[in-house]
Copies of this chain bind each other. A is one copy, B any other.
Amino acid sequence: MAEKRTDLALEARESFPRGHVEVQGVVLEKHYCEEGQAQITMVKIKDDAGSKAMKKPKGTYITIESELMLREEADREPLLLCICEQLEKMIGKMKQKSVLIVGLGNREVTSDSLGPKMTENLFITRHLEKELGSSFMEQNEYGCVSAIAPGVMAQTGIETSEILEGIIKKTKPDLVIAVDALAARSVKRLCTTVQITDTGISPGGGVGNRRRELSEKSLGVPVVAIGVPTVVDAGTIIGDHLEHVLEKQGYSEQEIEQFLSEILTGDTENVMVTPKNIDASVGRISRDLADVLNHCFQKKG
């Protein structure tokens, strides 16, 4: 089948035919919050069979979906607290920890700039300890937060993992949090979904195709990734629509695959589908995610 890309474990799970109530090695749980206005889905990939079926690493993937993300500040606030809770659930109490927050992506490409823009709104404290002493930090209940937006391979010529390894060795954080723009399969999920995972970042994920994985294995400290889908590959959206039509026409899976491979040629490479208001959305979400992280790691953001 022509590859239909998604960075969301939730969508990978949905892509199984409806009959597949259970996928071996994959656990799925859903619940609602904010009076039904936000849906929280936890996908646990428990073993290698599940990992292979889902084409994602083993681990926990929490997805928060809500149209509230598009609303005004006052409406978004309870949702942001809900994201804080989910994050805290995954990594435990955070105020004591020292954390390196990484804004992945290319700030010169709007749909890929979520991570770097987020870092601009973080409350950075690691250097304050040296300057003002640890009693100052405790009085203010400040955490130890450092951050970097390393840029992408095309900007630096250096693998992100090569940049981060040295920094981690020098600064010894307890935890890395990597924030990234993702590719989804469904247009509806763009800018309305947050995925939190303890698996780190997979190669080939993100809007700009990160190369090597960023994970506890490669970096030596736990890596929690927070992602928000900002693009759908044009090929993916066209393929999904075509498939839907052809299925209804009674074509076999093989025939459908044949059509798709004929249709989805180079034309749709390097093009992507974004919401019309992507500039404003990326600005808003990057500030929201910084607020969430400031709230988690500091007494007041």
Contacts and interface: CB of A to CB of B under 8 A. Distances in A.
A271 B127 contact: no
Contact of A271 (B145, B151, B167, B190): B190
Contact of A147 (B110, B125, B157, B162): B157
User: Secondary structure at chain A's binding surface: helix, strand, loop or mixed?
Assistant: helix
Contacts of A237: 234, 238, 268
A270 interface: yes
Question: Interface residues of A toward B: which range?
Answer: 35 or more
Interface string A261-272: 001000110111
B119 A155 contact: yes
Interface stretch (A17-25, A26-34, A273-281): A273-281
B110 A278 contact: yes
Interface stretch (A46-54, A133-141, A239-247): A239-247
A156 interface: yes
B234 A126 contact: no
Contacts of A151: 119, 148-149
Interface in A45-79: none
Contacts of A170: 158, 162-163, 165-166
A270 B263 contact: no
Interface string A196-239: 00000000000100000000000000000000000010100110
Contacts of A171: 158, 162
B275 A270 contact: yes
A276 B233 CA distance: 10
Interface of A: 108-110, 119-120, 124-128, 144-151, 153-159, 162-163, 165-171, 186-188, 190, 207, 232, 234, 237-238, 241-242, 244-246, 249, 259, 263, 267-268, 270-280
19 contacts: A109-B279, A119-B155, A124-B155, A146-B157, A146-B158, A147-B156, A148-B156, A158-B170, A162-B170, A163-B166, A187-B271, A207-B276, A241-B241, A245-B246, A245-B259, A270-B277, A271-B275, A272-B273, A272-B274
Given A125-B157, A270-B277, 13 more contacts: A108-B120, A109-B280, A126-B158, A145-B157, A147-B155, A158-B170, A166-B167, A188-B267, A234-B237, A237-B268, A238-B238, A241-B242, A244-B263
